[in-house]
Amino acid sequence: MDGQIIRAEYSDIMQKSYIDYAMSVIISRALPDVRDGLKPVQRRTLYDMYELGIRYDRPYRKSARIVGDTMGKYHPHGDSSIYDALVVMAQDFKKGLALVDGHGNFGSIEGDGAAAMRYTEARLQKVTQVAFLADLDKDVVDFGPNFDETEKEPLVLPARIPNLLVNGADGIAVGMVTSIPSHNLCEVIDAVKAMIRNNKITTGGLMKYIKGPDFPTGGIIVNESDLPAIYESGQGKLRIRGRVVTEKVKGGRERLVVTEIPYTMMGANIGKFLNDVAALVETRKTTDIVDISNQSSKEGIRIVLELRRGADVEKLKNLLYKKTRLEDTFGVNMLAVADGRPETLSLRQVIEYHIDFQFEVTTRKYQNLLEKEEKKKEIQEGLIRACDVIDLIIEILRGSKSREQVKACLVDGVTEGIRFRTEKSRKLAAKLGFTEAQANAILDMRLYRLIGLEVEVLMKEHEATLKNIALYQDILNNYDSMAAVIIRELDSFKKEFGRPRRTTLETAEEIVLEEPKTEEMPVVFLMDRFGYAHTVDESVYERNREAADSENRFVLRCLNTDRLCVFTDSGRVHLLKVLDVPYGKFRDKGTPLDNLCNYSSSEESFVAVLALNDIRDTVLTFVTRQAMVKQVQGAEFDVSKRTIAATKLQDGDALTAVHAAAEQAHLVLGTEHGFFLRFPVSEIPLKKKGAIGVRGMKLAGDDAVSGVYWLEGGQSPEAEYGGKPVRLNRLRIGSRDSKGTKARA
């Protein structure tokens, strides 16, 4: 290949490289295998713990030791990914069946992270050892080389329970995502047994056993009627609610107690729920809650909402379900690696793949056991026969010169070179015909085995071996016998590791919350130069008009039911409800606009604030720093989104002004170099909001628009240049796209 140039299409190479990368992430990192329900990092961690002897009945070992050994031998992708996987497998609030027994701080349901790996310890759970790692020495699964081909690792663990359903899975691959809810172990085992007995069972038949997902956090699934379609297609959405109970307290009052949360509310979302409830009180969406406290502990979730006397409990529950994460959606996408490729599976397909895998594992196990028993039988038969002709064998041993000579005589009947007492003994020796394994066993046999009792023990062992062979042959040759073995194992797992269902199922109507109508009233929007905004009553503004106008950058009369359009120099417009702006006293500081919409004070500055009701039926005039102008229908900004592009800008340009000018008004553009151009607004063409616009004024060199003024309705504003006033209404009326008049400094 030296000196040879290979020509290839760049796009083809990129496509192939990307596909190879994507498949590597999908198969080797992000998605679980349908057979054992584990991702590679989970499988390697559990196998490494098994290899290190960190069993459930042995002492804990440092997590750092486990992580380091796993990374060095099997998973060279960084210690954080291995430790994160180890932590999740130890968290019983995330997994329906924890696979690792953690000792130390392994995090909490409220989002507290686990301690560093040097502080925590771990070992295998009993269920992991007996249901995932047992029989690895019986050649039940294939092994492959590790990343540097110095070790062997199992390509899949011989999991005896359908872990993909029991523990669920979540992961993000390249272009695809998996999200499988956890299920109840007892129900899943019953469904597996039902399909083993009747392989034509439908999804509906399986759902007689598997009622629905069973999350470790409990909760209530309220769209039970959607489950058949979800299990049939492998995709859909679950609506989960937290469990709320009512408790009586002294004084005739009641309180709501959240005892179970939706699975999606774990972690930081619990704190967000508390903040959302507080916000409902602050915005006066409800006045029934007087206090809220999180009393959760190791015993479980307990979030207490103290209510005022006479509170409408049912209405408040509906408000919490509608306005907070107490009711949430869990997206189901049962995507897993099946037969070496990613596939979205139905409930029936997942169980079918698991059963096929169980029969494969059981077949390989009993084939291995049968081979061992047949080898044992061969040796036992040889020893029993040797006991019957022991005198002849001793004569052969005494007359031989080497072990090889004796072995040749026992196996092939070669008697040359061996001294026999009689010719009859020679003839009998030539007919012995032991196998090579039997001959080795005879030569290795100790003399005490010739004791009568030992011979009887040997005969009993032989009988037991024959029974085992018959049993194993029956299991391997009879479907019902093998099925009975698998079912017996499943029953033992169900009895030892099963637990009652935590999540309840029901079909509930979607909550329709009738919010009280807000009484429409005129208010005045005030925003200072620092971006702090609030609204006040019109009468309050009128009493403090002079101070309000001088202290605030934007003063706008509007209705409290209106929406505001906040235009910025980046060419964007942020829409927010006036009701979201705090209403209060004149001297209130207000709230930063950053907290009310998607505005970012570090990236953009305010240009104009307009009420949508005022501009919906008007035309807005836009002016940029590079003197680009256009007019846009105000109705184009009546959208449901919170932030949209108000105009398109050229590189280096910025929006300078937005104004609802009358058609007969005049526009004056002032530049940094002292040029002023006055022309009618009617000369500016009407464009869409996505257009750049047209040139309003010719700029020389590095000049730019620094001031925009509107002459309308008898107004005569003044500008300033070089410390001297410029009377704008005395400027000569020019035309758009001209240079303008130079002011005297």
pLDDT digits (tens, 9 = 90+) for 662-718: 877 889 999 999 999 999 999 999 999 989 999 999 998 889 999 999 888 767 678
- Between 121 and 395, name the one with better pLDDT: 121
Mean pLDDT computed over 306-324: 89
Give the model's pLDDT for residue 310: 84
| Contact predicate 593/535, CB 8 Å | no
Q: In this model, does residue 58 exceed pLDDT 90?
A: yes
Edge-to-edge strands, sheet with 741-742: 705-711, 666-671, 675-680, 741-742
Confidence of residue 495 (pLDDT cuts 50, 70, 90): very high
Q: In this model, does residue 3 exceed pLDDT 60?
A: yes
Average pLDDT, the chain: 89
| Contact predicate 273/324, CB 8 Å | yes
Give the model's pLDDT for residue 714: 66
**SS3 sequence, 257-274?**
EEEECCHHHCCHHHHHHH
- Distance CA(523)–CA(561), nearest Å, equals 10
| Domain 31-159 is found in CATH 3.40.109.10 | no
DSSP string across 531-578: SEEEEEEHHHHHHTHHHHHHH-SEEEEEETT-EEEEEETTSEEEEEEG
CATH superfamily placement of domain 522-742: DNA gyrase/topoisomerase IV, subunit A, C-terminal (2.120.10.90)
| Contact predicate 72/52, CB 8 Å | no
For 63, the 3-state DSSP assignment is helix
The dihedrals phi and psi of 699, each to the nearest 5 degrees, come to: -110, 140
pTM (two decimals): 0.73
State the residue for tokens 């209510």.
Answer: 307
- Distance CA(302)–CA(126), nearest Å, equals 30
Q: In this model, does residue 443 exceed pLDDT 70?
A: yes
pLDDT, tens digit (0-9, with 9 covering 90-100), for 139-166: 999 999 998 899 999 999 999 999 999 9
Confidence of residue 28 (pLDDT cuts 50, 70, 90): low
- Distance CA(535)–CA(649), nearest Å, equals 32
- Distance CA(363)–CA(473), nearest Å, equals 10
The dihedrals phi and psi of 645, each to the nearest 5 degrees, come to: -80, 125
Cα torsion 104, 106, 108, 114: sign: positive
Comparing 31-159 with 522-742, is the CATH topology the same? no
Instruction: Kindly list the distances between the CA atom of residue 410 and the CA atoms of 211, 263, 375, 443, in Å, as whole numbers in the listed order.
Output: 66, 71, 18, 10
401-410, 475-484, 509-518, range with greatest mean pLDDT: 475-484
DSSP string across 645-706: E-----TT--EEEEE---TT-EEEEEETTSEEEEEEGGGSPB--TTS--EE-B---TT--EE
State the residue for tokens 């559990």.
Answer: 46
| Contact predicate 622/696, CB 8 Å | no
Give the model's pLDDT for residue 660: 87
Q: In this model, does residue 2 exceed pLDDT 70?
A: no
**Amino acid, single-letter form, for residue 203:** T
- Between 170 and 661, name the one with better pLDDT: 170
Q: Which CATH class is domain 354-495?
A: mainly alpha
**Amino acid, single-letter form, for residue 340:** G
Pairing of strands 220-221, 504-505: parallel
Mean pLDDT computed over 493-499: 94
Rg (CA), the chain: 41
Q: Cα 482 from chain centroid?
A: 38
pLDDT, tens digit (0-9, with 9 covering 90-100), for 196-227: 999 999 999 999 999 999 999 999 999 999 99
Long-range contacts of 408-417 (CB under 8 A, 24+ apart): 410/434, 410/438, 410/439, 410/442, 410/443, 411/435, 411/436, 411/439
Confidence of residue 1 (pLDDT cuts 50, 70, 90): very low
Q: And the tokens for 318?
A: 């509906």
pLDDT, tens digit (0-9, with 9 covering 90-100), for 673-682: 999 999 999 9
- Nearest-10 Cα torsion for 180, 182, 187, 189: 70
Burial environment of residue 626 by CB neighbours within 10 A (0 to 12, 13 to 18, 19 or more):
buried
Instruction: Kindly list the distances between the CA atom of residue 351 and the CA atoms of 161, 164, 195, 589, 648, in Å, as whole numbers in the listed order.
Output: 10, 9, 8, 62, 55
Count the residues in the chain.
745
**Amino acid, single-letter form, for residue 289:** I
CATH number for region 243-325 = 3.30.1360.40
Confidence of residue 176 (pLDDT cuts 50, 70, 90): confident
State the residue for tokens 């706008």.
Answer: 556
- Distance CA(194)–CA(74), nearest Å, equals 37
| Contact predicate 558/523, CB 8 Å | yes
| Contact predicate 158/142, CB 8 Å | no
Query: Domains of the chain: which residue ranges?
Result: 31-159, 243-325, 354-495, 522-742
Active-site positions read 119
Give the single-character DSSP code of 137: G
Cβ neighbours of 232 (radius 10 Å): 16
- Distance CA(427)–CA(24), nearest Å, equals 68
